[in-house]
Amino acid sequence: MKKITNHITHLFLLLAVLVSGKNSHAQDIHFSQFYEAPLLRNPSLAGIFTGDVRAQIVYRDQWNSVTNAFKSGSVNAEYKMPVGSGDDFITAGLQLLFDKAGSVSLSTTHLLPAINYHKSLSSDRNMYLSVGFMGGLVQRRLDRSKITTDNQYIGGAFNPAAADGETMINANYSNLDASVGASFNSSFGTDQQNNLFVGLAYHHINRPKNSFYRNVNEALYPKWVASGGVKFDVGDQAFFNLQADYSKQGPTDEIIGGAMYGYKIGDPEMPDYIVHLGAFMRLRDALIPAVKIDYNPFSIGLSYDVNVSQLKTASQGRGGFELSITYIGFLNRDNSTREKVFCPRF
């Protein structure tokens, strides 16, 4: 118990180092369990896991205590396979994203295929440079019947039959969006059991228009995302997993980071369960305690945002609840990555 307590203490010291800096709100949809939505971070993070396939779901329900809740969902799937007889790999992925918010039911749906190539940089250990691209269709819509404007208040009384005065042609529109990214991941330490990655992504490279009025001046700002993570053992049964992102989109930026302490229950080589406990912080916005349980081949994670922003009085500190479910597995095929000595992983 004393050993576990010392590890937990180290966790929060590492957390304090990770999240030092400044922050404000970014424009895009984000998740507190950002580490469970890798394609949203960087398309080159596709395929960096031990297995042939990975499928992940993240659901977020935010700010029920303040207004009509923001409900967001992410579904991503990846399929990884070797290339030729060497140690290179290619990963095909798909990112689905849904978001609904506010009294006018403003909703956004993304359908984004992705492709990633992993180039081996060493014949002695896992060391890969990955380059990924993601692009597809984005649709936004709202319920115009729920809009209320000043034009509908006549003589001090609200008249729902009056024209709202808005000049939008349609209550929905679609556009194409694209992202590109690169990442480096490697094993290190005794027996190469530890892993790290760093990555940089550039989103909205085509600057899609973001206006129901089709105003060309309302194009989305491009967004840079720098990501990093380290996973290292602290004994046969325990390990730390540190993750952090910095994003910059136009005049706004965001820093989120933290760490999870993992403990293996059972045989360290083939544990029955792995229990993760930790915390993350979105600076000047939310403190995010998180828990995760691995039961091969599934993982289930829970987190909750404790609001520490200027809205904390109105929200009474309450923020967003998130649930994630992950499946990682091998396929029964001749070229399964199970048979490869080296493979991009984290």
Spell out the per-residue pLDDT of the chain, length 346, in tens.
Answer: 444 444 444 443 344 333 333 333 335 788 999 999 999 999 999 999 999 999 999 999 876 555 566 789 999 999 999 998 889 999 999 999 999 877 777 889 999 999 999 999 998 899 999 999 999 999 998 877 777 777 778 877 877 777 776 777 677 889 999 999 999 999 998 888 899 999 999 999 999 887 777 666 678 899 999 999 999 999 899 999 999 999 999 999 999 999 999 999 999 989 999 999 999 999 988 999 999 999 999 999 999 999 887 655 545 556 789 999 999 999 988 888 887 889 898 8
- Whole-angstrom distance, CA of residue 177 vs CA of residue 226: 19
Which tokens hold the place of 327?
Answer: 């499946």
Cβ-based neighbour number of residue 282 at 10 Å = 26
Q: Are 52 and 80 in contact (CB under 8 A)?
A: yes
Q: How far apart are CA 287 and CA 229, in angstroms?
A: 19
Which DSSP string corresponds to 14-65?
A: HHHHHT-S-----SS---TTGGG-HHHH-GGGTT-SSSSEEEEEEEEEE-TT
β-strand pairing of 286-295 with 223-233: unpaired
Domains within the chain, CATH numbers bracketed: 2-141+170-339 (2.40.160.40)
Rounded CA separation 343/200 (Å): 21
User: Is 132 in contact with 45 (CB distance < 8 Å)?
Assistant: yes
Contact 271, 1 (CB under 8 A): no
Q: Give, in order, the Cα–Cα distances in Å from 177 to each of 134, 187, 263, 267.
A: 8, 33, 40, 46
Is-contact 181 201, C-beta < 8 A? yes
Structure tokens at 314: 């109105």
Among residues 323, 313, 257, 341, which one has the least CA distance to residue 58?
A: 323
Q: Is 151 left (phi over 0), alpha (psi -120 to 50) or beta?
A: alpha
Provide the H-helix boundaries in the chain: 2-18, 38-41, 312-315
